[in-house]
Chains A and B, each alone.
Chain A
Amino acid sequence: MSDASFPPLRAGRFATTRWSLVLAAGGQTDARSAEALASLCELYWYPIYAFVRRQGYNVTEAADLTQEFFLRVLEKNYFRALDPARGRFRGFLCASVRHFLSNERDRARSLKRGGRRPPISLDVETAEGRYQLEPHDNLTPEKLFDRRWGLMLLDRALTRVARDYADAGKAPLFEHLKGFLTGDSSGVPYAEAASTIGMSEGAVKVAVHRMRRHFRDALVEQIAETVSDPADIDAEIAYLLNAVS
């Protein structure tokens, strides 16, 4: 049973997520889990950088500390020392970086000292450019981290939906209707959108409904990669809704 429009997003999504692979390894040497963790770190490094910067470190320090932090995380033994929120990758990373910084404050950077290869490719210029766009408000490093995490997940989910529509030959439909994803289309009523893209108003409503569902599935797919238990997904969505509000 498959819709010819899009591949089913959620089929088998809970079989083995990257984070569940990492947790299943339990700190033991496992090539698959190490690779899974490395790829998660590559995807979600920016919230860590923002967290470190918000702690008051300058650009150079923050870049060094971020690299050093990921180096530690990617060392297997790190898992045994920290497990306050092992169920979710977001919670694990946030707790870990807090713990890391409290220990690292006065120590020389082993990464610099040892001249080891940085574990992730961190484009400092881009990261700092993004950080400068962060609101200058009273967000704590933890709240900024969560907010950044949520926005990144949304961005990834929307990118996935856009790509799926493009692959199905429906890129123009996505462009015309994406504004309706949030119920906000800058005041453009369904009838007007229908007239613009040559569809009936009813067909537009159906297409919007399907696009929202596709977006939701894409978001769930992204979140599922970062939790160990599928039952946590809805709670994570609720948490992130609060974090970005």
Chain B
Amino acid sequence: MTVLDGTACPQCGRPRPSDAASGLCAACLFAIAASIEDEVCPYQVLAPIEQDAHGVTYLAERHASSSRGFVALSVIAHGDGDAILGRFHQLRPALARLQHPGAAKVLDAGSTSNGSVYVVSEYVTGTPLAGVVTRQRLDRAGLVEIARQMTEAVAAAHSAGVLHLALDGSRVKVSTAGAPHAAIAGFGVRAIVEGCVGDPDTDLRALDALVRQLELRT
């Protein structure tokens, strides 16, 4: 794949050889290769959590992190890596705007030296919402509080420009140690991994179903 080009490289100023590979500056190509370090995944995988259509999600933590914060790291087995990373890049400002204790969002995405693409989300602990309801671990006031927190989390995410698009009971984790606290996992995942362009109403309908589920049991 040789292209004739006898001009100077606008990047480094060196003359490009007349049969430079693809018309590209040979010195710049070697310089680029020399400047790229092996990309090491900055997360340490601890244990698998779940497997779905996208791949396997692991409990992980960041290497050399001063705080012991766990994350959920999904290794994407099926999907266009370039597109996933591009969508993450695009959604990043909205994700940065989303700051709510009840909305767990995508934190990071990247690729390792062997080309694997991963998406990192805040890891949420607690009992799945369905379990809390079934086991009647909260009184009516507690359930109302959970409903309020979920509603606030969805509103905060929408206000920031981040949709969930896969909201169901399995995504809501409730902590009942002390004051009840609900957190919704996975904001931004579907948009980034699948490229879904959804509608806020999708989340609102799902939220409505979840709240109804709470009211039905009280």
Residues of A with Cβ closer than 8 Å to B? 1-11, 130, 133, 135, 147, 150-151, 154-155, 158-159, 162, 170, 173, 178-179, 181-184, 186-187, 199-200, 202-207, 210, 212-217, 219-220, 234, 237-238, 240-241, 244-245
CB closest residue in chain A, given B86 = A203
Roughly how many angstroms separate A183 CA and B24 CA in the complex, as a whole number? 10
Roughly how many angstroms separate A217 CA and B115 CA in the complex, as a whole number? 10
CB closest residue in chain A, given B22 = A158
Chain B residues closer than 8 Å to A135, beta-carbon distance: 17-18
B1 to chain A, nearest CB (A): 5
Chain B residues closer than 8 Å to A241, beta-carbon distance: 27, 30-31, 34
Contacts A2-B114, A158-B22, A200-B89 known; list 5 others, CB within 8 Å: A158-B24, A183-B28, A184-B28, A186-B10, A202-B86
Residues A1 and B114 in contact in the complex (CB < 8 Å), given A154-B29, A182-B29, A203-B87: yes
| B32 engages A184 (CB within 8 Å) | no
Residues A2 and B115 in contact in the complex (CB < 8 Å), given A200-B90, A241-B31: yes
Roughly how many angstroms separate A212 CA and B24 CA in the complex, as a whole number? 13
Q: Could you give, for residues 26-43 of chain B, a 1 whenever the CB lies within 8 Å of some chain A CB and a 0 otherwise?
A: 111111111010010000
Roughly how many angstroms separate A182 CA and B80 CA in the complex, as a whole number? 24
A133 to chain B, nearest CB (A): 5
Roughly how many angstroms separate A202 CA and B84 CA in the complex, as a whole number? 11
Closest 10 pairs (CB-CB, A-B): A203-B86, A202-B89, A182-B28, A241-B30, A1-B116, A3-B115, A8-B114, A244-B26, A184-B11, A206-B85
| A184 engages B33 (CB within 8 Å) | no
Chain A residues closer than 8 Å to B160, beta-carbon distance: none
Residues A181 and B90 in contact in the complex (CB < 8 Å), given A4-B78, A162-B1, A186-B10: no
Roughly how many angstroms separate A196 CA and B115 CA in the complex, as a whole number? 26
Show 21 A/B contacts (Cβ-Cβ < 8 Å), sorted by A: A2-B114, A3-B116, A5-B81, A151-B17, A155-B2, A158-B1, A158-B21, A159-B1, A162-B1, A170-B82, A178-B24, A179-B24, A182-B11, A182-B29, A184-B10, A187-B10, A203-B90, A205-B89, A213-B36, A214-B115, A215-B29
Residues A178 and B22 in contact in the complex (CB < 8 Å), given A4-B77, A10-B114: yes
Roughly how many angstroms separate A200 CA and B114 CA in the complex, as a whole number? 25
Chain B residues closer than 8 Å to A220, beta-carbon distance: 33
The count of chain B contact residues (Cβ–Cβ below 8 Å) is: 47
Roughly how many angstroms separate A9 CA and B24 CA in the complex, as a whole number? 22
| B34 engages A210 (CB within 8 Å) | no
| A181 engages B78 (CB within 8 Å) | no
B213 located at the interface, meaning its Cβ lies under 8 Å from any Cβ of chain A in the complex:
no
> Which DSSP category, helix, strand, loop or mixed, fits chain A's interface?
helix
Chain B residues closer than 8 Å to A237, beta-carbon distance: 30, 33-34
Residues A4 and B80 in contact in the complex (CB < 8 Å), given A202-B89, A206-B89: yes
Q: Chain A CB within 10 Å — which of B2, B22, B36 has the most?
A: B22
Q: Chain B CB within 10 Å — which of A10, A183, A207, A215 has the most?
A: A183
Chain B residues closer than 8 Å to A238, beta-carbon distance: 34
Roughly how many angstroms separate A183 CA and B31 CA in the complex, as a whole number? 11
Chain B residues closer than 8 Å to A151, beta-carbon distance: 17, 19-21, 26
Q: Could you give, for residues 170-185 of chain B, a 1 whenever the CB lies within 8 Å of some chain A CB and a 0 otherwise?
A: 0000000000000000
Chain B residues closer than 8 Å to A213, beta-carbon distance: 36, 39, 111
Roughly how many angstroms separate A203 CA and B28 CA in the complex, as a whole number? 23
B14 located at the interface, meaning its Cβ lies under 8 Å from any Cβ of chain A in the complex:
yes
Roughly how many angstroms separate A151 CA and B25 CA in the complex, as a whole number? 10
Chain B residues closer than 8 Å to A4, beta-carbon distance: 76-81
Roughly how many angstroms separate A86 CA and B114 CA in the complex, as a whole number? 30
| B32 engages A3 (CB within 8 Å) | no
| A182 engages B32 (CB within 8 Å) | yes
| A200 engages B86 (CB within 8 Å) | yes
